[in-house]
Amino acid sequence: MQLEDYFNFLAPNDIRLAGSRIGIETILYEYIYRARTPEEIAQTYPSITLEQVYATILYYLHNKETISKYIADWLEYCLKSEREQDENPPAFVVRLRQLKAERGAATQVLNEH
């Protein structure tokens, strides 16, 4: 089995573990940024095997420059999406915030009396 056989290369910015919907960025974020062991990662994601986790790490180590950019692009996309959602929240989020503010105001009035 070749190392690449562990992955589905769906697009240049979408590499997933074969047989799952988990992207390599998920595994590598846990490994690189959260300093989790391969065993901890495998326990967190029961749909993948320890072997798949090790294969992902090995793939990263063999392609460090390319995969580091892949992860940086993914993190940038996540931050951009988060900012956009904060700036333009869905209608239900706006409504929930209104309800929370109204409830908070009502509680404050009751506490003052």
pLDDT at residue 113, rounded to an integer: 67
Average pLDDT estimate for 10-39: 95
Residue 109 has pLDDT above 80, yes or no: no
Percent pLDDT > 70 in the chain is: 99
pLDDT band of 48, cuts 50, 70, 90: very high
What single letter denotes the amino acid at residue 22? I
> pTM here?
0.73
